[in-house]
Amino acid sequence: MSAQGLSCRLSRSYYRPCNSSCTVDAFVVHQHIALGQRIGAYTIEIMGPNGTWTTVVTGTSIGYKRTDRLATAVETRRVGLRITQANAVPLVESLQVLGSQTTV
């Protein structure tokens, strides 16, 4: 499964819903680097079955593109990217959510 496009909900947070429950094992964040490195720190969060957010990745600079693999796959319906430090307005081009869709 690959997420295409993001919807900006808060000034520095981006959320990507899954169409149904999915098992996620990696994330790829792509930053528009033509204007320089802007993102200095970030977290990737998943929404649990009870509606609470859990941080699964904490990272520093993204550069052009950053791939974060999880040691253990997680199941979720919603993924969030939170920019926790930026040198200028963050320019996230894409957030890919890698894994498989869970069939019901």
The pLDDT tens digits of the residues spanning 71-84 come to: 999 999 889 999 99
- Give domain status of residue 85, yes or no: yes
The encoded tokens of residue 27 equal 């994330």
- Give domain status of residue 1, yes or no: no
Domain enclosing residue 39, as ranges: 7-101
Specify the length of the chain in residues.
104
pLDDT at 42: 94
Comparing CA positions, the residue from 61, 57, 30, 31 lying closest to residue 43 is 57
Q: Give the CA distances from residue 85 to residues 17, 23, 59, 60, 62, in Å, rounded to whole numbers and listed in that order.
A: 23, 28, 10, 9, 11
Prediction pTM value: 0.81
- Give domain status of residue 15, yes or no: yes
- 50: domain CATH number is 2.60.120.260
Strand bridging mode 53-60 / 7-10? unpaired
Please name every residue paired with 54 in a beta bridge, in sequence order, or none if there are none: 46
- Give domain status of residue 30, yes or no: yes
The encoded tokens of residue 67 equal 């791939």
Find how far residue 69's CA is from the centre of its chain.
12
The pLDDT tens digits of the residues spanning 7-38 come to: 333 335 666 667 678 899 999 999 999 999 99
Q: Which helix (H) or strand (E) holds 68?
A: strand 65-86
Number of domains the chain is built from: 1
